[in-house]
Chain A
Amino acid sequence: MNNSRIEVTNKFQGHHLLGWTSEVRDVLKFNLERIEESKFYLLETDSKVEESISREVLSDPVLDIFEDKNWVNSKASFAVEVGFKPGVTDNLSKSVIDAFQLFEIESKISTGKIYWLFGKLDRVEAEQVSREILANPLLNSIKVMTTNEYLEKDRFSNSVLPVVKIEGAGEVQAVDLEMSDKELAALSIERCLALTTDELHEIKNFYKKEEVIQARSLAGLPNCPTDVELEVLAQTWSEHCKHKIFAANIEYKESVEPKYGPKLGSFKVDSLFKEYIKDTTEKIKKDRGLEWLISVFSDNAGIVRFDKNVDLCFKAETHNSPSALDPYGGALTGILGVNRDILGCGLGARPIANTDVFCFAPSNLGDHDHGKSLPVGPKPPRRTIEGVHKGVEDGGNKSGVPTVNGAFFFDNNYAGKPLVFCGTVGVMPQVLKDGRTTEGKGQKPGDRIYMVGGAIGADGIHGATFSSLELDENSPATAVQIGDPITQKRVMDFMMEARDRCLFTSVTDNGAGGLSSSVGEMAELPGGATVNLEKAPTKYPGLKPYELFISESQERMTFSVESSSASEFEKLALEYSVEATDIGEFTDSGSLDIFYGSELCAKIDLDFLHNGLPQMNLKSSWDGEIYKRDNWARVELPAAYNGVVNQSQMEEHLKNVLKRPTIASKEEYVRRFDHEVGGATHIKPFGGENGNAPNDSGVIWLGPHGGEMDNAVAIGCGIAPRISLYDTYLMAQFAVDEAFRNIVSSGADPEQVCLLDNFCWPDPIFHKDKNIDGDHKLAQLVRACKGLSDICEAYGSPLVSGKDSMKNDFRGKNGHGEDIKVSVLPTLLISAIGKLNINSSKQTALQKEGDQVFLLGGLGSGLLGSEFLETTQLEETTLPSIDLKKNFELYKNIHQGHIQKVFSSLHDVSEGGMAVSLSESCFGGDLGMSITLPDDSNPLEALFNETPGRFIVSVKKDETKRFKALFKEAILLGEVTSDSTLKIGFQDKKLIDISTESLKETWRTPIC
């Protein structure tokens, strides 16, 4: 073997280095002048590599400097070498290996970066910068040396690649569960099983059954579970996979009468999922006679028919725990993971749009004390925002899927776990060439099981069970992984072609639980499966059978393929540079039989695996709305409202609200997502002449995707976590209404809308030491589900898929060594898609001077839960209310308005209230507005309340008659002006008179 090391410096250094430099200066207050970056490659090759070849493979003659041996960037003070720890995904190395193969050179490669730090900082400071900004110690090896030390080290003559050293191939253990409850609990923690002692008893008792003991003895298995079996059961029975809380039997009572939402009384729910979600959809389907619901709750994603030619599927997922520990990898694998849900839906759908919604702590949280007040373990907010954003960027852009809709929501309570929601819309033909309908799956006994895509490593072992636990400072690094979008893109291209050639009978993704979940789920239909684990390709040797089976290594799909198609399936895979491996066969044996070589290491009864989990019995108790916020890291409270209503005061209020991070422009972030790949993005995230006005929804035209030429789908989202402080029943409804408003505003038909629910909750299970208000949080969940169900019925809109994440808490230490617990606000993300005709869509930017400006949906009232109340304290105010019947009537009318083309522009009223909505409508160009508030209004409340069901619309003067016929209760606010100024008056007073440029500048205050 020949080992060598090569270093390359790009002459055009990236802007991220400037950003990091100013952060080091501004936040850490170190004397850093600048950072420069070089790449290093460690090569282990079968023969000596000519320099001319290395040069051609690893550098560009115009862009790069191919460095000499033993060079250093001599004026730098420190060299920081950041490599990958053994086994961590290194995407660059994969492309380098491919490139060397073109020159008939087989290689192993490891890559990394050298950061050259310039300026007067000391070693301790350089180390801190490296650990906190340049690298993630969970994933990276970090060496900090002075430039001289680096030179003397002679790094070029001994280059050694990081190697994973584990030994355990073929090792299977029997796990005797005959132990005390205390020992069982310890076992669950030690093995990261996330099983309760009750559940472990259930397993123990099953293995004690006479017929089970006999059958196992015949098969040569012990009379207790093997580690493979126990791990498979733990994955399959995890909260993450089984949604135990949503399936639980729950007693609900109200210890205090709800103040804002309805009184629900005392009752029992057999399963929140069944009663409030599934049954709601069934009822809506029946009542409305919906024929466009093709598949709901039975597959990886919901499938609907909004088009004559194609079907759509829709799914959103969260990736919160991994994103807390490694924001980039967590978010990247989040977006790639939800893409796989779509790929694995029915017989395979093509992802055509991504959405992303993030809940973060504000970037400056913890700045006042250098992060000492922040939890130790999760990355601090600034790193989280930056990393998550980059992860979604790479995940979407490199997969060729446009990111068209999303939101950022900020609150201190997301500092323990950020919430990272990733959604995907997919498109599939309704029928395949051989006549099979695409929505169904058809694996049968005798079909081969193929694992397709990436190889298996130790990364991502215990992801499903890990996410079912709260975070602490010792959370396992193996749960974190980095995705490889290009490997997945190849799989995607391959499987679309394989689907169209009818080469497989079924497919599903490998997500949480890896093969154990995908094969375990697929085995249900044929009634069994046999897997030969030793055949599965691995990243390195030494993995134990249970690790092979539950690893969540990314970019993998599982297929069932008829034997007669197997060779064509494999041939096609080669053409797409995709690894496809036959790892077993579907059977009708009734069990999941796992072999490693000739050794049977698991035989799991499928019925017990899927139906053996006992239902939980839980109690919940509504203890009232919470006035006092859990503002654990709040440094200063906002100023008290001084009651003054004059121009300077109102202008200041508006500016304070506009620069709130939840409201401030995200254009800089959003434009780094490719939102148009596919060539079908009809409404983009930002519109207007200058491309600065935020649109309400993303719209994907279906024509280029095989749909009808004038057909499209609008994609929106709604989220209202702060309303959870008052009543989660209303929080759920506010979220649904916002998602609806988003897409209706752009032109979607409100009668052809379907929804996704993604619940992210703080732990709702009572524990006398760790979670004393668990009962209340569970009651909040019950109320949210009831609120959701009620609004879905009122809007006639079915829920087609959903997910929940139930342990969004951090319990551990902060930088001062103090115990802290940080729990997320009870959060429900609603994602909506609706059918839209591209001939009748509209955007938010004002169009023409002289257009009349109206408010639809009334003035609203109540400032509780508003962004305004985060900037100013106000003693007496109420919570906005929601009128479901009125809102839905309005949405139907708006759709009529779109069809009749009466609008010039529409923008819904959301965070920040009407004042923000009016401002944003002006940001698309040079136009302004002159507005007069109704005489009987309270200006402060009118401008900043966030009551749902409202829109700002502009209408051509000569359309006002037709407009008024549709909207009798529209409030005329004023008109569009040519003077680039937003003027708002009340009675005879001027309240706001600011140039739109100045407002826009405030609104563009960086969020990070």
Chain B
Amino acid sequence: MLGPKVLVLTGEGINCERETAFAFEKAGAVPSIQTLNEVIKNPAALREFDILAIPGGFSYGDEIGSGHVFSLKLKKHLGAEIKEFINDKKPIIGICNGFQVLVKLGLFDHSSDRQIGLAPNTSGAFMNKWSRVIPHEKNNCIWVKGLDKAFSLPVRHGEGRVVLKEDQVYSDLVERGQIVLSYESDINGSYKNIAGLCDETGLVFGLMPHPEADLFKATSPEGSENPLDFSVGYEIFKNSVNYSQSIQGKNL
């Protein structure tokens, strides 16, 4: 049986599309890397996919704000199709720049006006560092199923500080199981060390760290005797593939 079909968006300065596609492929999916321009030409084609991924990078050079122009373009041309994708209970992941795009689309907000933002790190600078993240015990995200212990992922961003318009938003997010990952310590000033969020359905997942750069032990910072063993990042992609396959099973 062929694995689920994954659309990996690229173009305009996205730059993690290849390793993101590689991750899905290793996890048993069939990824297809397409530019946003190409997808826009035929928005209905989004229906043919089971999973949507917006990888990391510097779309439009992070100018105006990270993910800003890319999200405007998505909203303008694919807004309805993305809504339909979510209604069809298909998983979406946004990593780093992709997370910034999803936040700007308001996918994690409960109200129509935006409450959540990703601001420049408190250091004001880009940083690349492996950081420990802890899965939130009450999260309902399908992407981190089975992950309950802290693990390390590479963090590579300049604007990853989660900010909330009001403190109340945080308890609402907790309440709805939307807080997925938190950093073990404060690395960028993020509200309560939030590293990743999901929407209420648990299918739309956005995170600043890069699980696609932690597929194998070969890229672990401390080195490994068995570099071709899978690492934790792989589990995240595998979860979405398993989910899609279970849904497809039900649909048959």
Contact = CB atoms under 8 A, between A and B. Distances in A.
A672 interface: yes
B64 A493 contact: no
Residue of A58, A672, A677 contacting most chain B CB atoms (<10 Å): A677
B22 A399 contact: no
A630 interface: no
A804 interface: no
Given A63-B65, A679-B22, A701-B218, A397 B120 contact: no
A679 B19 contact: yes
A10 B65 CA distance: 10
Interface stretch (B86-94, B125-133, B173-181, B242-250): B125-133
Interface in A658-705: 671-684, 687-689, 691, 701, 703-704
Contact of A62 (B37, B114, B120): B114
Contacts of A18: 124
A95 B60 contact: yes
A831 to B, nearest CB: 22
B31 interface: no
B223 A16 contact: no
Nearest to A41: B64
Q: Main SS of the interface on chain B?
A: mixed
Contact of A98 (B60, B123, B125): B60
A354 to B, nearest CB: 13
Given A63-B119, A678-B19, A486 B12 contact: yes
Interface of B: 10-13, 15-16, 18-19, 22-23, 35, 37-38, 56-58, 60-65, 68-69, 72-73, 76, 104, 113-120, 122-130, 154, 156, 161, 163, 165, 210, 212-213, 215-216, 218-219, 221-223, 227-228
Contacts of A60: 65, 68, 104, 114, 117
Contacts of B126: 393, 397, 672, 674
Given A62-B165, A92-B64, A99-B69, 8 more contacts: A12-B161, A62-B114, A64-B65, A102-B69, A485-B58, A486-B12, A687-B223, A843-B222
A15 interface: yes
A379 B176 CA distance: 54
B11 A577 contact: yes
B72 to A, nearest CB: 5
A102 B228 CA distance: 45
Contacts of A678: 16, 18-19
A444 interface: no
B117 A676 contact: no
A841 B123 contact: no
A376 interface: no
A11 B65 CA distance: 12
Interface string A744-771: 0000000000000000000000000000
B122 A672 contact: no
B43 to A, nearest CB: 15
A399 B15 CA distance: 7
A91 B63 contact: yes
Interface residues of A, number: 68
A490 interface: yes
Interface of A: 10-18, 56-58, 60-64, 91-92, 94-96, 98-99, 102, 393, 397-400, 484-486, 489-490, 493, 574-577, 671-684, 687-689, 691, 701, 703-704, 709-710, 838-839, 841-843
A10 B120 contact: yes
A15 B228 contact: no
B9 to A, nearest CB: 12
Contacts of A14: 120, 124
B223 A676 contact: no
A393 B127 CA distance: 10
Contacts of B213: 676-677, 679, 681
Given A672-B126, A687-B222, A691-B130, A576 B35 contact: yes
A841 B152 CA distance: 21
A843 B56 contact: no
A15 B19 CA distance: 31
B124 A691 contact: no
Contacts of B60: 95, 98-99, 486
Nearest to B117: A62
18 contacts: A62-B163, A92-B64, A99-B72, A397-B58, A398-B58, A398-B62, A486-B60, A490-B11, A490-B12, A493-B11, A576-B11, A676-B156, A676-B213, A677-B156, A682-B218, A691-B221, A704-B18, A838-B227
A490 B13 contact: yes
B12 A577 contact: yes
Contact of A96 (B15, B64, B216, B228): B64
A709 B228 contact: yes
B110 to A, nearest CB: 14
Nearest to B214: A679
A11 B16 CA distance: 29
Contacts of A838: 218, 227-228
B61 A486 contact: yes
A18 B125 CA distance: 12
Contacts of A671: 127-129
B64 A95 contact: yes
Contacts of A710: 227-228
Contacts of A577: 11-12, 37
Contacts of B117: 60-63
A703 B156 contact: no
Nearest to A681: B219
A613 B4 CA distance: 62
Nearest to B165: A62
A677 B69 contact: no
Contact of B222 (A397, A672, A689): A689
Nearest to A703: B218
B75 to A, nearest CB: 9
Contact of B116 (A62, A400, A673): A62
A454 to B, nearest CB: 13
Contacts of A485: 13, 58, 61
A57 B221 contact: no
B58 A679 contact: no
Contacts of B23: 679
Nearest to B115: A62
Contacts of B62: 398
B113 A61 contact: yes
A574 B215 CA distance: 33
A58 B64 contact: yes
A843 B227 contact: no
A277 B223 CA distance: 37
Contacts of A673: 128
A610 B218 CA distance: 47
Contacts of B227: 682, 710, 838-839
B223 A842 contact: yes
A397 B122 CA distance: 19
A672 B115 contact: no
A12 B57 CA distance: 21
B11 A15 contact: no
B156 A61 contact: no
A45 to B, nearest CB: 16
A92 B216 CA distance: 37
A655 B55 CA distance: 44
A977 to B, nearest CB: 20
Contact of B219 (A57, A94, A676): A676
B190 to A, nearest CB: 12
A489 B227 CA distance: 31
